[in-house]
Amino acid sequence: MKKTVLLGLSGGVDSSVAALILKKQGYRVIGAFMKNFSDTKNKITGECAWREERKIAIKIASLLDIEFITLDFEEEYKTKVIDSMFKDYSKGLTPNPDILCNKIIKFPLLWQAAKKLGADHIATGHYARINQSKRGFELYSGKDKEKDQSYFLAELSQKDLEHTIFPLGNYTKSQVREIAKKNKFPNWDKQGSRGICFVGKTNMRKFLGQKIKEKKGKIVSPEGEILGEHPGIMFYTIGQKVVEHAGLRINKPKEFAQKRWYVAQKQGNVLVVAPADHSILKKKEVVLKKLHLINPKQKIPKNLKARIRYRGELGPGKLQSNKWVFNKPVNGVAKGQVLVLYSNNKLVGCGEII
């Protein structure tokens, strides 16, 4: 009897090819479109973006002759991910909603639905790999280093990995597009999703402004010189380039424009900015709120490297209890973001930066 896989079928090329691969491997595949956010609209048609994506997903399911269902997780997504994100930003933090979404929405709810359907596994189009050892399951980065998405999966647990399949882990993005083109998928050259998980690319200032009120404050240099006024520290993140725009006022714009300025610190409602390469922008020690290990039964390797953002540079260092110390100072360490630890290609664990 064929094993059944419930696959998150988004309408993108990655999950479409994942469906094809699983079917060729002999699985009975059920494509599940997840409706999580209906506020994003197509600027041209005015139609909810999810409806357009769902139409493509239905076409793919029809081409592959697989079952198709729609799962509505919008209420859970808005209350547990979006509301949480607004709350963190209002505190001046820089959260990662994609990691949170995978941890509490996409993987657990997809598995919940899978069990009701009698499915044996769930699958997604993530570029990552899972390996089973005597001591449990391990998570590895995808073969395509430019597309590797293991960072976003850093909060997954053994319970998540034991029933999950990542069909694209050993493929490159170019290979995936070639497979899609060869099989005449209508989305073979479709641009990949960007921005917030299920929301898409958006103007963060306007998006956050829906629920977070402006609170004007001073912009100062590391030496304390007042450079201008900002609309609220909530709209900025550590390491972000500072440019004059609506709501942000610079006292001497011509002089300011002569250098590249970046957000260095948030002190109360004061935004401290510094020119590129200033020492205040760099940090060696990163304190973590809680360390999450992918496989708690395995010893933590000594040859660790860490990154503080998706596709950020991997920097060597040492883990000291709940603190990570980089060998060399790094730029843009922001509270609320997630530091992810790797040992070669294996993702060891992660922790929220505080």
Known catalytic membership, residue 197:
yes
CA–CA distance, 153 with 354 (Å, rounded to integer)? 20
- CB 31 within 8 Å of CB 19: yes
Helices 13-24 and 173-182: angle between axes, nearest 10 degrees: 70
For every residue of 220-237, DSSP letters joined together read E-TT--EEEEES-GGG--
What letters, b where the CB count within 10 A reaches 16 and e where it falls short, cover 255-283?
ebeeeebbbbebeeeebbbbbeebeebbb
Question: Active site residue: 197, 264, 330, 348, which one?
Answer: 197
Question: Closest Cα to residue 23, out of 42, 40, 4, 8?
Answer: 4
CA–CA distance, 84 with 247 (Å, rounded to integer)? 25
Residues 6+ apart with CB under 8 A from 254: none
CA–CA distance, 339 with 291 (Å, rounded to integer)? 10
Question: Active site residue: 7, 81, 101, 180, which one?
Answer: 101
- Angle, CA 348 vertex, CA 346 and CA 353 arms, to 5°: 130
Tokens of 190: 């479709």
Kind and range of the H or E run holding 272: strand 270-275
Known catalytic membership, residue 101:
yes
How far CA 28 is from CA of 57, 112, 120, 136, 287, in Å, comes to: 17, 18, 10, 26, 45
Active-site residue numbers? 101, 197
